[in-house]
Amino acid sequence: DAGVIQSPRHEVTEMGQEVTLRCKPISGHNSLFWYRQTMMRGLELLIYFNNNVPIDDSGMPEDRFSAKMPNASFSTLKIQPSEPRDSAVYFCASSPRGQGIGGYTFGSGTRLTVV
Amino acid sequence: GDSVTQMEGPVTLSEEAFLTINCTYTATGYPSLFWYVQYPGEGLQLLLKATKADDKGSNKGFEATYRKETTSFHLEKGSVQVSDSAVYFCALSPNDKIIFGKGTRLHILP
């Protein structure tokens, strides 16, 4: 099992540019989560999907952020336009449906730096 | 809303010392409770969990007991090793999603 795969591992971009982060969940996992990690705010849940449908996007900071899950094996998180305060590590996690009770598997994260 | 509060770090201990990292929670209902560990440059990994009151989760020498009366889930280990240096997150899950504490960085000195 390859685990949750995120790409890229590192991204450096200029303010105002569009950034797309990618995630491939574990095959058979029905739930997918996007988290953002910063020193100031810790881990924040941005959005999560069940069976490719967004369930809760209340954590998405503003309209510049959008997430999609076109199929069970792929999800994207897009920031357009990016700002320096978006600099953080973004994690994707997946779990079998109804397994919030510890069934999460995290990817290694994407470290985003907006200059 | 549901939340988790854990002790601020960093926590610095010598090898073989006893470890306690405090965690308390606020939740309606009866959530499941977890400890996750994050090693440098990696994502979070589940360390242990407990799904109901008085349950004890354990793994790799770490333990935590779900205390409903004190709404706590403190992490303990009797003898820490240098390899235990990492960031530890307490978390709760009232439903499909997990709410994390801010993390406690642990440094173990040889």
pLDDT (tens digit per residue) in B7-36 = 888 999 999 999 999 999 999 888 999 999
Measure the CA–CA gap between B62 and B40, rounded to whole angstroms. 19
**B-chain residues within 8 Å CB-CB of A107?**
43
Question: Is residue A11 pLDDT above 70, yes or no?
Answer: yes
The predicted model gives A12-27 an average pLDDT of 97
Question: Is residue A102 pLDDT above 70, yes or no?
Answer: no
Question: Is residue A99 pLDDT above 70, yes or no?
Answer: no
Asked if B96 lies within 8 A of A31 by C-beta distance, the reply is yes
Is-contact A22 A74, C-beta < 8 A?
yes
Question: Is residue B98 pLDDT above 80, yes or no?
Answer: yes
Q: Residue A100's closest chain B neighbor by CA? A: B96
- Cα B46 from chain centroid (whole Å): 10
Q: How confident is the model at residue B42 (pLDDT cuts 50, 70, 90)?
A: confident
Q: Which of B42, B46, B103 sits opposite A108 (nearest CB)?
A: B42
Measure the CA–CA gap between B108 and B110, rounded to whole angstroms. 7
- Cα–Cα–Cα angle for B36, B38, B44, rounded to 5 degrees: 60
- The pLDDT tens digits for A43-74 are 899 999 999 999 989 999 889 999 999 999 99
Measure the CA–CA gap between B63 and B20, rounded to whole angstroms. 10
Of all residues in chain A, what percent carry a pLDDT higher than 70? 93
Measure the CA–CA gap between B32 and B34, rounded to whole angstroms. 7
What pLDDT, on a 0 to 100 scale, did the predictor assign at position A41?
86
Measure the CA–CA gap between B77 and A27, rounded to whole angstroms. 34
Helix (H) or strand (E) holding A5: strand A5-7
- The pLDDT tens digits for B49-93 are 999 999 999 999 999 999 999 999 999 999 999 999 999 999 998
Is-contact B53 B68, C-beta < 8 A?
yes
B98, B99, B105: best mutation site toward chain A, by most A Cβ within 10 Å?
B98
What pLDDT, on a 0 to 100 scale, did the predictor assign at position B29?
82
Which residues is A23 bridged to in the sheet? A6, A75
| Strand duo B62-65 + B75-77: pairing | antiparallel
Q: With an 8 Å Cβ cutoff, is B66 touching chain A?
A: no
